[in-house]
């Protein structure tokens, strides 16, 4: 059973790597981004998309963690107020 899970994991990783490689090879045209008059040097489209994906993978969990911590803080504060006599 353990070897089947390992095989499935290896095949999944291989499939994802193949999809990324295929995407990169198919999107080699260069594009230059312009933002507020500033122009970035031309880079392949695949690199821009992968950088945006990785940025989203980093920013998403950070924002959700911040929201969870903030809501826990608010919940604790409201529980303390409810426990206080008065």
Mean pLDDT on 12-31: 92
For 27-84, write each residue's pLDDT tens digit: 899 999 898 999 989 999 999 898 999 999 999 999 999 999 999 999 998 888 888 7
How far apart CA 49 and CA 53 sit, in angstroms, is 6
pLDDT band at 86 (very low <50, low <70, confident <90, very high): low
Please report, in angstroms and rounded to a whole number, the separation of the first and last CA atoms in the chain: 60
Q: What is the pLDDT of residue 13?
A: 95
Which 3 state secondary structure label does DSSP give 37?
A: coil
Q: What is the pLDDT of residue 66?
A: 95
């Amino acid at each position: 059973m353990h070897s089947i899970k390992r095989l499935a994991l290896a095949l999944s990783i291989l499939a994802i790597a193949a999809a990324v490689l295929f995407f990169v090879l198919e999107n080699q045209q260069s594009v230059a981004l312009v933002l507020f008059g500033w122009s970035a040097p031309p880079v392949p489209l695949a690199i821009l998309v992968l950088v945006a994906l990785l940025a989203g993978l980093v920013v998403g969990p950070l924002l959700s963690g911040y929201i969870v911590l903030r809501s826990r803080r608010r919940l604790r504060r409201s529980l303390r107020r409810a426990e206080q006599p008065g």
